[in-house]
Copies of this chain bind each other. A is one copy, B any other.
Amino acid sequence: MNASNDRKHILLIVQKFGGTSVADLEKIQHVARKVKHEWDNNHQVIVVVSAMAGVTNQLIEQASKANPLYDNQEYDAIVATGEQVTAGLLALILQKMNMPARSFMGWQIPMLTDDNHKHAKILDIDKAKFMASIKAHDARAIAICAGFQGVTNNGRISTLGRGGSDTSAVALAAAIGADRCDIYTDVDGVYTTDPNIVSKARKIDKISYDEMLEMASLGAKVLQTRSVELARYYNVKLRVLSSFEQEVTENSGTQIIQEVLQMEERSVTGITCSQDETKITILGVDNIVGAARIFTLLSDKKIIVDMIVQVESRQQGLGNLTFTIKSDDSEKVQALLKQHQEALEFEQIVSQDGLIKVSIVGSGMRTHTGVAAILFNTLKEKNVPIHAVSTSEIKVSVLIDAEYMELVMRNLHHAYGLDE
């Protein structure tokens, strides 16, 4: 009787811990206590871990030094080791605390992805196989999964892009039908803007998938964009929590849910900033075929191009093509373009580093008017030049010089009434 009563309360919980939460052995021990808390309550726990803070960057630096035009398949093999180490260490610490734990790499789960290396997409997780592997170790085993990584149909290691461990966690939660997916990180939730930049930033208790999606894709580093997309699609009950908070209560963190109903809806929910943006301008390209050739080349090499700012016409069918990329792709992109200069038939490349993209986000924009006007007026008042603008249904983004970051974000936070 009791057994069947107990079974009712067994939840299937996915917990994800980011790089700063597992930065050293002491922090991993702290993470282990969070796992133990759920396990002691008789829940079945599946944990997803990132690499220890800084490790992935070191590995990327090594790969870039070995070969600036690195092959993404080998890049993946190298950087995937970071999560492998954390998974093993957390398993060892849980075992020391007398919990049956076992590490699982992407290929061991297996988490099948496409072969778009460095930015692979998850195709399938074999729930039955994975759950059987866990049970084979121990009836109450805790699976510690290396985040960020998967395996292709060819048996090659793939990775899901920076911050991919969030996506690993949500995909696992969706595949196994988890009751909860708790993303533990170094902040206690999603904020109206970056508290390191704007001191008046406030924690948001509930945010819709749509808003979170814009916030995430625009630089709020709390969650990887794709993890939010995936959570929305599969309706995964997602929560962002602090690893460092002792007690988790109903009001802890930020819940990401279908729709937020508020008495008085704000026009703007949050302000984000995406740093390390580089603007590339290619001078003297063919107006007709230039862009197609260049973006095909970049796409083949899996370079993510963000804003495409302008294609100006000049004399003789030649124009200038401008777009933004992440600054850490800058060297690779420029080397690649110069290598193909003859075939692409352009005159010159000009690059500008040190840019940022500031965005305002809110479902309220759908119904409120004058939202963009506040943005442009604020920039005008502070004499901030705008390099580019892009918009969607629930956000407006501007590309500006990095030096204006604090000034602009602080003033926008105030202008949209987010300070209170």
Residues of A whose CB lies within 8 Å of any CB of B are 25, 28, 59, 62-63, 65-67, 69-71, 73-75, 77-78, 80-81, 84-85, 87-89, 91-93, 95-96, 102-103, 105, 107-108, 133, 136, 154-157
| Chain B residues with CB under 8 A of A74 | 88-89, 91-92, 95, 102-103
B residues less than 8 Å from A28 (CB atoms): 66
Residue of B nearest to A59 (CB): B85
Instruction: Find the B residue at minimum CB distance from A26.
Output: B65
CB proximity of A74 to chain B, nearest CB, Å: 5
Q: CB within 8 A of A88: which of B25, B78, B87, B88?
A: B78
Beyond A67-B92, A81-B84, 5 additional pairs, beta carbon < 8 A: A63-B92, A66-B93, A70-B92, A75-B92, A108-B155
Q: Known A88-B75, A103-B74, A108-B155; judge A67-B95 contact (CB<8 A).
A: yes
CB pair B85 A78 closer than 8 Å: yes
From known contacts A95-B71, A155-B108, infer whether A63 and B88 are also in contact, taking CB-CB under 8 Å. yes
Q: In the docked arrangement, what's the CA distance between A156 and B85, Å? A: 14
Q: Which 6 A-B pairs have the closest CB atoms?
A: A78-B88, A81-B81, A67-B92, A66-B92, A77-B88, A67-B96
Q: Which of A65, A70, A92, A96 has the most CB of B within 10 A?
A: A92
- Cβ of B93 and Cβ of A89 under 8 Å apart? no
* Contact partners of A67 in chain B: CB under 8 A: 92-93, 95-96
Q: Least Cβ distance of A35 to chain B in Å? A: 14
